[in-house]
């Protein structure tokens, strides 16, 4: 039985840009929710899509008058989220992503746990799955402690308080009082928002009862760009809040710094070459160990591809973090 939300209106917000392969199933996931449609509005904010995304959305709008579409001239996600929130009328805001599909009780569970826990942000774990073979391999990395450090929101079974959740749901008044999303942050805007919630005395709660499936990037190049940007903008969040970086954030940066430094030194120094070989061999052995133990993959060739995915995640995030240090060293937020 779904949670009774009575007459409280829910605003579901989705930033979109070039999502023609995902947007139909995403919107259908919202339409299939176990809440009455008169309690729901769906707000999509488009960042100048160049594919068939808008035509698909408009077909849905012809059939459902609670679907609304706004333009995002700045294109990036933090602007889209703020546009959606400012134009919403719901007591609750449920943020969703076009690359995901949702259980039929996703929205009602978000509201149930917002009221039950008193937390300011409630959500579920990120459960990654793939359609293409590369997506499946990338999705397998999301459960690997070697790849992403084993954060709580990657644990399918964890329930309790956390630093962040996948996407999130809020009371609208919470977002307005906290100051919405920081428009200086095109990535890691959710980290910043959650930090401000916790800093102000609020809580973030995660439960596996809030179920969704996330489809990761579909190519190695897209994955590299995504995690480079995560690392790059993580520095901005750390600098803004003057908080120390976690070990899991620093290690990839040190790894990249080591590769750059010792690769160069190895060209002129035998000692540096030996150190470089030993460290990289140790890394490769760890990568192989965790790749071959990953329960999501069975084919030998896929496990070898996961070795490469692990390296992309580490190198891209670390390089982004290193570049972010140089970019934001003197910048004030």
pLDDT given at position 330: 77
Q: Where in the chain is the domain with CATH 3.90.550.10?
A: 10-217
**What is the predicted pLDDT for the residue at 152?**
75
What strand order describes the sheet that includes 160-161?
67-71, 40-46, 10-16, 92-95, 166-171, 121-124, 204-206, 160-161
Cα distances from 266 to residues 251, 281, 284, in angstroms, run 21, 15, 18
Residues of the chain with pLDDT under 70: 1-8, 149-151, 333
Task: Return the pLDDT at 242.
Answer: 86
- Spatial separation of the C-alpha atoms in residues 123 and 177, rounded to whole Å: 20
Provide the token pair at 180: 């919405």
Beta bridge partners of 93: 11, 170
Q: How far apart are CA 84 and CA 332, in angstroms?
A: 27
Predicted pLDDT of residue 151 = 67
What is the phi/psi pair of residue 3, to 5°?
-70, 140
Q: Which CATH superfamily is domain 10-217 in?
A: Spore Coat Polysaccharide Biosynthesis Protein SpsA; Chain A (3.90.550.10)
- Give the pLDDT confidence of 36-47 residue by residue, as tens digits: 888 999 999 999
Cα–Cα distance, 71 to 272 (Å, whole number): 54
The pLDDT assigned to 8 comes to 52
Nearest to 240 by CA among 319, 182, 171: 182
CA atoms within 13 A on the CB side of 131: 11
pLDDT at 6: 45
């Amino acid at each position: 039985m779904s949670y009774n939300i009575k007459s409280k209106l829910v605003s579901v917000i989705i930033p979109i840009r070039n999502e023609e392969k995902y947007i139909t199933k995403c919107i259908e996931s919202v339409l299939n929710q176990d809440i009455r449609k008169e309690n729901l509005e769906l707000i999509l904010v488009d960042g100048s899509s160049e594919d068939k995304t808008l035509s698909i959305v408009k077909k849905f709008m012809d059939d459902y008058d609670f679907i609304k579409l706004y333009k995002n001239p700045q294109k990036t996600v933090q602007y889209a989220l703020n546009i959606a929130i400012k134009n919403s009328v719901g007591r609750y805001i449920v943020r969703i992503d076009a690359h995901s599909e949702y259980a039929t009780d996703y929205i009602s569970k978000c509201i149930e746990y917002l009221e039950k826990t008193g937390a300011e942000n409630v959500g579920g774990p990120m459960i990654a799955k793939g359609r293409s073979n590369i997506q499946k391999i990338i999705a397998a990395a999301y459960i690997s402690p070697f790849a992403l450090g084993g954060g709580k929101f990657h644990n399918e079974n964890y329930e309790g308080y956390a630093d962040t959740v996948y996407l999130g749901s809020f009371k609208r008044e919470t977002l307005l009082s906290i100051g919405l999303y920081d428009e200086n942050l095109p990535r890691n805007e959710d980290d910043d928002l959650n930090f401000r919630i916790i800093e102000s005395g609020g809580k973030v709660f995660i439960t596996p009862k809030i179920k969704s499936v996330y489809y990761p990037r579909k190519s190695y190049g897209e994955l590299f760009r995504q995690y480079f940007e995560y690392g790059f903008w993580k520095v901005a969040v750390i600098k803004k809040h003057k908080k120390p970086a976690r070990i899991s954030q620093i290690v990839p940066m040190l790894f990249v710094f080591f590769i750059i430094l010792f690769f160069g030194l190895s060209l002129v120094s035998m000692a540096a070459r030996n150190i470089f070989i030993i460290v990289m061999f140790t890394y490769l052995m760890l990568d192989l160990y965790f790749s071959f133990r990953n329960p999501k993959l069975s084919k030998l060739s896929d496990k070898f591809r996961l070795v490469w995915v692990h390296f992309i995640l580490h190198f891209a995030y670390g390089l982004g973090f290193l570049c972010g240090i140089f970019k934001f060293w003197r910048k004030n937020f």
